[in-house]
Amino acid sequence: MRLIPRLDIKNNFVVKGINLEGLRKIGKPSDLVEKYYKEGADEICLIDCVASLYRRNNIFSIIENATKNVFVPLTVGGGIRSLKDIEQALNSGADKVAINSYATENPKFILDASKRFGSSTIVSYIEAKKKSDSDWEVYKYFGREKTNIDIVYWIEKVQELGCGEILLTSIDHEGLQKGLDYNLLDSVIKTLKVPLIYSGGLSGTKEVQRIKKNYKNISLSMSSILHYNKVTLQELKN
């Protein structure tokens, strides 16, 4: 299992919210990327949380700076809406690209991107919001807008289209540090053909052990718990 610190970026700062809202400044991207690398992150994930909404992308220079001293895989997302964007992300030092909003509007983009850059480069980033105990809806624009797409349907779809990995965020549990959404995990697990990275709500080392033991091929992404120094990566790894 991989442990993957996630850094949400807004206007050149790492920010963090609760349920993807109320974003608070945490620090400088390059400082935190390097810190988590040194603490033993298996990979690192950076998401520009306003890029899609404002249709801009200034995360590339951040990646360029952040990756000079970091030698584990780096996934970058937020505002990716063309093959050119992907190329630019990779040239800046990203190893994988996470795509959410634009894929929900134009699913074929996942297909084109995986064909061009290889499946293992393309991560389908999915924001899930609970409708009932057994239904989740896909959201876009960093949890701001509904899509009317069902989560299980969407996971099947993006796998069919050729993504190499899925990054799934539970909007409801995100930022709370009160535990993962196991109902969500259980509902999607049978559908999986590619590795899944789950993010949202990690509460501590016990949960890491629980996932390791009971869920195969699932990796964990976390942010609040690290940003607020509740636990170190080293502790989560042991």
Partner 1 sequence: MKKICILDYGLGNVRSLYNSLKKLNFSPVLFSENIKNNYDFVFIPGVGSFSAASKILNTRKYLDFLQTHRKSGKKIFGICLGMQILHSFGEENGACNGLNYINGKVTKIESKNKKILPLVGYQKVRFLDNINLPFLKEYNLEKFYFVHSYVVSLSSEKNLLGLTYSDDYEYPAAVIDHNIIGTQFHPEKSGEVGLNFLKDIISKY
Nearer to partner 1 (CB atom), residue 194 or residue 225: 194
- Which listed range, 19-27, 85-93, 101-109, 137-145, lies at the site for partner 1 (CB under 8 A)? 85-93
Residues 7-66 interacting with partner 1 (rule: CB under 8 A): 37, 40, 42
Q: Distances from the Cα of 32 to the Cαs of 5, 23, 55, in angstroms?
A: 10, 17, 25
Contact with partner 1 (CB under 8 A) among 34, 95, 137, 150: 95
Find the shortest distance in angstroms from Cβ 64 to partner 1. Answer: 9
Question: Is 8 in the active site?
Answer: yes
Using CB under 8 A, count the residues that bind partner 1.
31
Contact with partner 1 (CB under 8 A) among 2, 130, 144, 230: 2
Cα angle 25, 30, 34 (rounded to 5 degrees) comes to: 115
**Backbone φ and ψ of 69, nearest 5°:** -120, 20
CA 175 to chain centre: 13
Cβ pair 71, 38 in contact under 8 A: no
Question: Is 127 in the active site?
Answer: yes
Applying CB under 8 A, does 118 fall inside the site for partner 1?
A: yes
What 3-state DSSP class applies to 176?
coil
Helix boundaries (H) for the chain: 29-38, 51-54, 59-66, 83-92, 101-105, 108-117, 151-160, 182-188, 205-214, 224-227, 233-237
Contact with partner 1 (CB under 8 A) among 48, 85, 165, 207: 165
Applying CB under 8 A, does 106 fall inside the site for partner 1?
A: no
Cβ pair 193, 140 in contact under 8 A: no
User: Annotated catalytic residue: which of 48, 85, 127, 172?
Assistant: 127
Instruction: Fill in the per-residue mask, 182 to 221: x = in contact with partner 1 (CB under 8 A), - = not in contact.
Output: ----------xxxx--------------------xx-x--
Size (the chain), residues: 238
Helix axis angle, 59-66 relative to 83-92, nearest 10°?
A: 30
What residues make contact with partner 1 under the rule CB under 8 A? 1-2, 37, 40, 42, 67-69, 71-73, 90-95, 117-121, 164-165, 192-195, 216-217, 219
Which residues participate in catalysis according to the annotation? 8, 127
